[in-house]
């Protein structure tokens, strides 16, 4: 496979951008090769600067649930472009999008539109602290919630010891209020509440973890989080940046029947454009300016083009509810092929990860037992055969409505042959 043009572009990019990229995973560092530079995408295919075309299972890391360049989304964006790119003012589209979101996630009684998942989570955490008057938050090892300072932490030598920054440039003081528990481990959460019974503002969780690879919640885990937060007057914050409108039209909270106090959305809700949202119970969100003292603002929040793309995507999902069962079936076929090839597979709806480990992966420690070198070889094998998956062991594989049965079959054949 010839990738000469991508390699040349990468060399040039490194002169202008840190590592030649605008998001670290794009550098392909963990799979041992130069990154691809993409020139176009349509349906379930992407094409690189050398003219190579791949079946795409990254889908821009999740937003393209309908596939790339879906006609309804492109049409909506083009129509809005004719009316202007940005207003920095209110417009009716914001109301319509918020209404559609709330109709499927009624826990989001009031909604604020923002521009990225990181911004949505950061703002939701601030709202939780403002509402409760408490400073501490609990997150889970291996769950990623964007790159805001207070959430770039890990558990150190023990889950109950003080958290340390997981990134240079983050002062210790920013993370002192972040406690870390083990995903799928109620005991670790109970220990933190026992130590800080009246100090925790919220527990933030990916209801199905997808940033250490896909790790579904164990039966009863989400229900436990709902109960313990209520017992202690803390809030439950679902980070549904990935799972929102992906696992179902009502997100993970609809799938598991759990009502969080606050929700952060991104990716699909913007239809491939930079848009995200956070929201929750009315009395909590009324703490946000201009109604309350929790300040959050954004010049491009509710950008009309991004709103048009997100609204068009959600309306398509409303019109075609059968897409979710079809996505589940397609992804199950890929999972079966990987298990036939002897791989450890975690799947939740149209999210899937293959792990190169003998251990069952139910938490961060299990994910970290994976052989990343073996995953890199697997990634490169698929890429050389025209299939593009996540260039990292610790990411999800995304399936879209545009993936054809023929392309699913071809991918399954390649996975099985890898054994």
Which pLDDT tens digit goes with each residue over 277-301?
999 999 999 999 999 999 999 999 9
Query: Residues 81-105: pLDDT tens digits?
Result: 999 999 999 999 999 999 999 999 9
Contact 381, 50 (CB under 8 A): no
Q: Classify strands 153-154 and 164-165 as parallel, antiparallel or unpaired.
A: antiparallel
Pick the CATH number of 71-318 from 3.40.640.10, 3.10.270.10, 1.10.3720.10, 3.40.1190.20: 3.40.640.10
- Nearest in space to 146 (alpha carbons), one of 208, 211, 57: 211
User: Hey, what are 50's tokens?
Assistant: 């050398």
Active site residues: 144, 239, 267
Q: Where are the domains of the chain?
A: 4-57+321-418, 71-318
Mean pLDDT, residues 309-320: 98
User: Hey, what are 225's tokens?
Assistant: 């989080």
The mean-pLDDT minimum among 41-50, 57-66, 111-120, 161-170 falls in 161-170
Other beta carbons within 10 angstroms of residue 325's beta carbon come to: 10
User: Which DSSP string corresponds to 136-151?
Assistant: EEEEETT----S-GGG
Q: Please state whether the peptide bond connecting residue 290 to the residue before it is cis, i.e. omega within 30 degrees of 0.
A: yes
Please report how many Cα atoms fall inside a 13 Å half-sphere around the Cα of residue 364, on the Cβ side.
16
Contact 184, 215 (CB under 8 A): yes
User: Which DSSP string corresponds to 198-266?
Assistant: TTEEEEEE-SSB-SSS-BPPPTTHHHHHHHHHHHTT-EEEEEETTTTTTSSTTHHHHHHT---SEEEE-
Residue 166 clears pLDDT 70, i.e. is over it: no
Count Cβ atoms within 10 A of the Cβ of residue 353 and give its class: 0-12 exposed, 13-18 middle, 19 or more buried.
buried
Residue 118 DSSP symbol = H
pLDDT bin (cut points 50, 70, 90) of residue 176 is confident
Residue 210 clears pLDDT 80, i.e. is over it: yes
Mean pLDDT, residues 168-184: 87
Please report how many Cα atoms fall inside a 13 Å half-sphere around the Cα of residue 114, on the Cβ side.
22
> What pLDDT, on a 0 to 100 scale, did the predictor assign at position 320?
97
Distance of alpha carbon 277 from alpha carbon 301, whole angstroms: 9
The H or E element containing residue 79 is helix 71-81
- CATH class, domain 4-57+321-418, is alpha beta
Which residues, 6 or more positions from 209, have their beta carbon under 8 angstroms from its beta carbon? 140, 142, 143, 183, 215, 216, 217
Work out whether the CA dihedral 400, 405, 407, 411 comes out positive or negative: positive
> What pLDDT, on a 0 to 100 scale, did the predictor assign at position 47?
98
Helix, strand and coil in the chain, % to nearest 5 = 40, 15, 40
Radius of gyration of the chain (CA): 21
Distance of alpha carbon 93 from alpha carbon 99, whole angstroms: 10
Work out whether the CA dihedral 384, 389, 393, 399 comes out positive or negative: negative
> What pLDDT, on a 0 to 100 scale, did the predictor assign at position 174?
76
> What pLDDT, on a 0 to 100 scale, did the predictor assign at position 153?
73
């Amino acid at each position: 496979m010839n990738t000469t043009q991508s390699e040349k572009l990468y060399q040039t990019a490194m002169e202008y951008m840190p590592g030649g990229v605008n998001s670290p995973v794009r550098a392909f560092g963990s799979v041992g090769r130069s990154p691809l530079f993409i020139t176009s995408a349509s349906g379930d295919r992407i094409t690189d600067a050398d003219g190579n075309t791949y079946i795409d299972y990254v889908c821009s890391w999740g937003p393209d649930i309908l596939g790339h360049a879906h006609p309804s989304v492109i049409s909506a964006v083009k129509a809005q472009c004719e009316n202007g790119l940005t207003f920095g003012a209110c417009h009716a589209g914001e109301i319509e999008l918020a209404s559609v979101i709330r109709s499927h996630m009624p826990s989001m009684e009031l909604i604020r539109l923002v521009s990225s998942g990181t911004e949505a989570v950061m703002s939701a955490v601030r709202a939780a602290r403002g509402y409760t008057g408490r400073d501490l938050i609990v997150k889970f090892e291996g769950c990623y919630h964007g790159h805001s300072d207070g959430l770039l932490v890990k558990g150190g030598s023990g889950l109950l010891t003080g958290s340390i920054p997981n990134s240079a440039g983050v002062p210790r003081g920013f993370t002192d209020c972040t406690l870390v528990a083990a995903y799928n481990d109620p005991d670790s959460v109970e220990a933190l509440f026992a130590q800080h019974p009246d100090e925790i503002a919220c527990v933030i969780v990916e209801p199905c973890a997808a940033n250490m690879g896909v790790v579904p919640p164990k039966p009863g885990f989400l229900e436990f989080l709902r109960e313990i937060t209520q017992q202690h007057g803390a809030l439950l914050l679902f980070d549904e940046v990935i799972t929102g409108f992906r696992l179902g039209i009502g997100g993970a909270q609809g799938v598991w029947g759990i009502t969080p106090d606050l929700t952060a959305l991104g990716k699909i809700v913007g239809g491939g454009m930079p848009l995200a949202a956070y929201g929750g119970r009315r009395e909590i969100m009324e703490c946000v300016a201009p109604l309350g003292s929790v300040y959050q603002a954004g010049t491009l929040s509710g950008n009309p083009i991004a709103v048009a793309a997100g609204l068009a995507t959600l309306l398509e999902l409303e019109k075609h509810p059968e897409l979710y069962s079809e996505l589940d079936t397609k992804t199950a076929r890929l999972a079966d092929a990987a298990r036939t090839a002897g791989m450890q597979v975690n799947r939740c709806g149209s999210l899937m990860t293959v792990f190169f480990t003998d251990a069952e992966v139910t938490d961060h420690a299990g994910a970290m037992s994976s052989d990343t070198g073996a995953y890199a070889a697997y990634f490169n094998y698929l890429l050389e055969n025209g299939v593009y998956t996540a260039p990292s062991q610790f990411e999800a594989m995304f399936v879209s409505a545009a993936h054809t049965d023929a392309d699913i079959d071809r991918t399954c054949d390649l996975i099985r042959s890898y054994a």
